[in-house]
């Protein structure tokens, strides 16, 4: 009887450890987006909501370097409205990041982000915490690097409506956390509702 009791205790301890690890990892991924904004944006939200992050592929955590400032005006002469939650800290970080690359961004705090994602045809599995729409009607969902925004806008594919970075990958623009980086994909959103890989980001240098 003691033998079975010991086996049960050992299995229970291992299971508890795995549950704790999953909870800690989830907390780290959401940490950057859970900080309230210190300054108010253009339209306060009375009932903040956030998009549910999509699951990112398991990948090795790598050191992250600072974003390059060698092309600070690659989004010059481009204007966009960013629909976001009033309390989303990483959304505000991303807006500051693209403004640093020349984008004329107007932040709009909205009560129901899903309405805007549906309006601009962002597929459910491609959604993130904010949606940017240029004056030309192109959509950039989530933490898309300025480099790929500029590349897309310079020569937009005829069947595409924009780009998306699903979820909130650690180390992507606006989602910096300590020295961590998780590889991710920039996805092309097509007019027919389909998606395709636009770029695979495997190191911090690729998004600079």
Per residue in 102-125, pLDDT (tens digit) is 999 999 999 999 999 999 999 999
What's the confidence (pLDDT) of residue 42? 41
pLDDT at site 26: 39
Q: Could you read off the pLDDT of 159-172 as tens digits, one per residue?
A: 999 999 999 999 99
User: Given this model, what pLDDT does residue 89 score?
Assistant: 96
Indicate whether 12 pLDDT > 90: no
Q: Is the pLDDT of residue 73 over 60?
A: yes
Write down the mean pLDDT value for the chain.
78
Q: Is 93 left (phi over 0), alpha (psi -120 to 50) or beta?
A: alpha
pLDDT at 72: 77
- 58-67 pLDDT, tens digit each: 433 333 333 4
Say yes or no to pLDDT of 183 above 70. Answer: yes
pLDDT at 208 (0 to 100): 87
Q: What is the pLDDT of residue 25?
A: 38
Contacting residues for 172 by C-beta, under 8 A, at least 6 apart: 142, 143, 145, 165, 184, 201, 207
* Residue 32, pLDDT above cutoff 70: no
Q: Are 41 and 108 in contact (CB under 8 A)?
A: yes
Burial of 205 (0-12, 13-18, 19+ CB in 10 A): exposed
Q: Quick one: what percent of the chain has pLDDT higher than 70?
A: 66
Is residue 130 over pLDDT 90? yes
Cβ-based neighbour number of residue 136 at 10 Å: 10
């Amino acid at each position: 009887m003691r033998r079975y009791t010991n086996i049960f205790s050992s299995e229970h301890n291992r299971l508890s450890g795995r549950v704790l690890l999953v909870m800690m990892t989830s907390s780290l991924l959401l940490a950057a987006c859970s900080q309230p904004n210190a300054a108010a944006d253009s339209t306060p939200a009375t009932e903040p909501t956030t998009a549910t992050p999509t699951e990112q592929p398991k990948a090795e955590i790598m050191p992250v370097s600072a974003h390059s400032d060698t092309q600070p005006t690659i989004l010059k002469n481009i204007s966009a409205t960013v629909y976001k939650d009033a309390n989303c800290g990483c959304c505000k970080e991303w807006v500051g990041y693209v403004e640093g690359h020349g984008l004329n961004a107007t932040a709009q705090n909205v009560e129901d982000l899903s309405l805007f994602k549906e309006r601009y045809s962002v597929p459910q599995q491609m959604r993130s915490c904010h949606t940017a729409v240029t004056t030309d009607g192109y959509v950039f969902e989530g933490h898309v690097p300025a480099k790929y925004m500029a590349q897309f806008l310079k020569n937009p594919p005829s069947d595409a409506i924009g780009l998306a970075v699903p979820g909130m990958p650690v180390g992507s623009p606006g989602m910096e956390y300590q020295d961590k980086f998780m590889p991710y994909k920039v996805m092309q959103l097509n007019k027919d509702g389909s998606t395709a890989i636009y770029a695979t980001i495997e190191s911090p240098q690729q998004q600079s």
